[in-house]
Amino acid sequence: MSVTTTQIVGLSRERRRAKLRQDLYRDRYLYAMMLPVFIGFFVLFRYVPMYGVTIAFRNYRIIDGMFGSPWVGTRHFERLFRSPEFVLILRNTLLLNLYQLIFQFPAPIILALLLNEVPKPGFKRTLQSVMYVPYFLSWAVLGGIIISLLSPSTGIVNAIIQSLGFEPIFFMMSTRWWPVVFIVSGIWNSAGWGTIIYLAAISGIDPQLYEAVRIDGANRLRQTWHITLPGIRGTIAILLILNLGRFIDLGFEQVWVLQNPAVRSVAEVIPTYVYRIGLQAMQYSYTAALGLFQSLIGLALVLTANWTIRAMGEEGLF
């Protein structure tokens, strides 16, 4: 590639044009393969909706279409930023994400460090196989299981609580307990699966490093602290950016299945609000404004996180 480029630089304009035509003709089958997918999917279903965010500045009506509805400027944004609900859902979105970052993000790291201490490969593999299971199940299934386990009347958790002599707890309806259920269910779903990438990173650490500190008399905790953790620092950093980049984008499916009207004050987040108000109540332009707000914050977060990681001396994502 670099050789042909330097060759081309020295050529005249016509020769370069001729080379371009020649290359395009040589790769005609390749373009014939990819262009239908590129245009039919990436352009149509990714880039056209990006232009479609302009409906946030229009009064969208189905008859007028995405490009024909009348412009109304920033009216929807003004309404959005003034509404008390906006403050509430933004706060809920950020809080739930913050809890995830504090409790859910470290869970696979801790599990991986512990799994690394299991000497028998067979036992370790069995533990992993079991821990991966919840990752492969739908949130419809996981949510159903959680709600039935926690049911105050027929759930096994409350049966245990009552047998210990306490009052049953209405987990799903309590604004205090709901975020706890949300985070624990998130850990249940993905912590086991999340260990894969950390275990791979751990297995890439040079065994001689352990040998060296062991000679210095380091015990297992110190080995973990001085060798294993620094060894997987890069992996942790990369996964942290990925997480921060999604900071404002809570998974719709998990929230929706666990949500109910009694806990809306802590459980309503941007995507569920967009779905409820935008699609069920058909306020397209208003919620498109909220969606655009979310996308822009999301973009800023990924770029900031990537820049931070690079400044720390790790390899960024792009």
Partner 1 sequence: MVQTGSRTVTVLIGFFLATVALLMVLPFINVIAVSFSSSRAIVSNEVTLWPVEFNLRTYQNLYRDGNLIRSLQNSVILTVGGTLLNMVATTLIAFPLSRPGLRGRKVFLGMIIFTMLFSGGIIPTYVLVQQLGLLNTFWAVWLTALVSTWNFFIMKTFFSTIPASLTEAAAIDGANDVYILVRIILPLSLPAIATLTLFYAVGHWNSYFNVMLYITRSRLHTVMVVLVQMIRSVDPQLLETAADATELTRFMTPEGVQAAAIVIATVPIMLVYPFLQKYFVKGVMIGSLKQ
Nearer to partner 1, 81 or 135 (CB): 135
Binding partner 1 (rule: CB under 8 A), the pick from 53, 169, 209, 236 is 53
- Long-range (24+ apart) CB contacts under 8 A made by 305-313 are 305/240, 305/241, 305/244, 305/245, 306/241, 306/245, 308/241, 309/237, 309/238, 309/240, 309/241, 312/237
Q: In the block, which residue shows the tokens 């299981």?
A: 145
Pick between residue 94 and residue 184 the one whose CB is nearest to partner 1: 184
CB count in 10 Å sphere of residue 165: 6
β-pair partners for 71: 58
Contact range with partner 1 by CB under 8 A, out of 7-15, 80-88, 92-100, 284-292: 284-292
Stretch 222-261 residues interacting with partner 1 (CB under 8 A): 223, 245, 252-253, 256-257, 259-261
Residue pair 117/223 in contact (Cβ under 8 Å)? The answer is no
Place of tokens 């404002």: 248
Nearer to partner 1, 74 or 260 (CB): 260
- The half-sphere exposure of 70 on its side-chain side, counting CA atoms within 13 A, is 2
Binding to partner 1, residues 181-210 (CB under 8 A): 188, 192, 196-197, 200, 207, 210
Tell me if residue 183 falls in helix, strand or coil: helix
Among 89, 241, 274, 309, binds partner 1 (CB under 8 A): 274
Q: What is the CA radius of gyration of the chain?
A: 26
To partner 1, the closest distance from the beta carbon of 66 in angstroms equals 6
> Under rule CB under 8 A, which residues in 11-40 are in contact with partner 1?
20, 23-24, 27, 29-31, 33-34, 36-38, 40
The least CB distance from residue 274 to partner 1, in Å, is 5
156 binds partner 1 (CB under 8 A): yes
CB of 50: closest distance to partner 1 in angstroms? Answer: 5
